[in-house]
Structure 1
Amino acid sequence: MNLKTSLFDKRGGDGARILHDEPRASHKLAVELISLMPVSLTNRPVVFVCIGTDRSTGDSLGPLVGTLLSEKVISPFHVYGTLEDPIHAVNLEEKLIEIKKKHFNPIIIGIDACLGRLKSVGVIQIGEGPVKPGAGVNKDLPPVGDLHITGIVNVSGFMEFFVLQNTRLNLVLKMAKMIAAGIHEASLTYHPSNSWSNLKMNVDREQTT
């Protein structure tokens, strides 16, 4: 668990903020994700590292996303961290070593749950830079990713571990489905030489109709 603004919601340099149940949320996430990845020709593999555990409802966002993605065809993307094989505080460093041995110079996108302000609960954040697993519960773990996708699942500030344990699974599942749908859509569009122009063209066309 982890304690920019988009084409649709510009608010400075912290990345995009997309409410999980707003209209076309998954499409907005796909557009933002593609816009952050290299658009020039590249052979760097794109790897999603979904962090969390199924032993805590609030911290299950990452492995839920990983499980949903594992049930889809998301080539050319790769995904690690599922409900069956989670990536969490105990095995995080070991898993990162394995991933970097398997994939040469990967673009890593970390996915994790986080806590935030009450008005931000249900918001998905996507931007440059890593996620920082364990920050919300005072664990010292390595940062993960060149890019990050985080979901604000509950309120921070008091007894974070207890708050995570008592987060509603219904909300976490809805957020996970939205994130997985956005990544799946991005996988259908991502071609490094022209990916951003393709998606941007689709968005511009929608805005003019």
Structure 2
Amino acid sequence: MNFKDKFSKNERRVNVEDAGMVHELSAYLEEWLPEKDVIIACIGTDRSTGDAFGPLIGSMLEEQTLHTFQIYGTLEHPLHALNLNERMKTIHRAHQEPFILAIDACLGKSTSVGCVSLGKGTIAPGAALKKELPPVGDLHISGMVNVSGFMEYVVLQNTRLHTVMKMAAKVAAAIQLTDSVRAKSKPRVPYQTITIRPKKQQL
């Protein structure tokens, strides 16, 4: 759970209530993602309604057949404060120079609840609850699930599940759409026939 009180020029912002939200977010992802497979780190926990945004997306995507994304962090196996350090080390050991799209819930202004932002660079998981965790991501998606400013832990516990589910479903749909487009445009290396020629014998 991170904290966001304003949006920068290096971010693209969409609203869950917009009819074209899925296609708009997908277009931004296609523009900013590199032409390589991407690790998606869905951060959060199923023990808090507000903080379940990331794991919900992870579980929704895990049920799909994705070709250019690999998912870490689901409702069953969440990526949260207690294991984030070790899990990120595991990811870096398993993937050479991984490009990571980090997904996390965030708190902010009341007028921004329901907004999803795509930003360049890392996010600071746990910042809203004043936890010191390592920054994560080359690109990030933040879902504004509730307001900040007072008793953030209680606010997260009392966030409407309907709001979080609706946001998670649309972000997952945008990622799935992006994967479909990327898979079709991904360059494929054709198989090559290798001919082994015998060495000439010396006289």
Instruction: Answer whether TM exceeds 0.5 for this pair.
Output: yes
Deviates more, 1:82-91 or 1:183-192: 183-192
1:153 matched residue in structure 2: 145
| Match for residue 108 of structure 1 among 96, 100, 110 | 100
Measured in 1, the distance between the counterparts of 2:186 and 2:70 equals: 20
Alignment partner, residue 112 of structure 2? 120
* Runs of 4+ off more than 3 Å: 191-195
- Report deviation, 1:25: 0.7
Q: Which residue is 2:21 aligned to?
A: 25
Identity percentage of aligned residues? 48
- Cα distance, 1:149 vs. partner? 0.2
- Superposed CA deviations along residues 101-133 of structure 1, whole A, max 9, x for unmatched, are 111111100000000100100000001011110
Equivalent residue, structure 1, for 2:12? 16
Q: Distance in 2 between matches of 1:37 and 1:63?
A: 21
* Alignment of 1:56 onto 2:52: no
SS in 1 for 2:141: strand
Q: Distance in 2 between matches of 1:86 and 1:96?
A: 12
Distance of aligned partners of 1:57 and 1:12 in 2 relative to their CA distance in 1, 3 Å threshold = closer
TM-score, normalising length from structure 2?
0.86
1-structure distance, mates of 2:149, 2:184? 41
CA contact (8 A) 2:50 2:156 kept: yes
Rate the CA distance shift 1:31–1:162 in 2: closer, same or farther, 3 A.
Answer: same
**Partners of 1:187 and 1:65 in 2: how far apart?**
14
Q: Is the 8 Å Cα contact of residues 46 and 107 (structure 1) preserved in structure 2?
A: yes
Matched-pair contact (CA < 8 Å) for 2:67–2:183? no
How big is the shift at 1:24? 1.6
User: How far 1:21 moved relative to its partner?
Assistant: 2.1
Structure 1 residue 190: Cα displacement: 1.5
Larger of the two Rg values belongs to structure = 2
**TM-score computed with the length of structure 1 as normaliser:** 0.84
Return 5+ residue gaps in structure 1 as ranges: 4-10, 196-209
Q: Which runs of 5+ in 2 are unaligned?
A: 188-203
Shift in CA distance, 176/101, structure 1 to aligned 2, threshold 3 Å: same
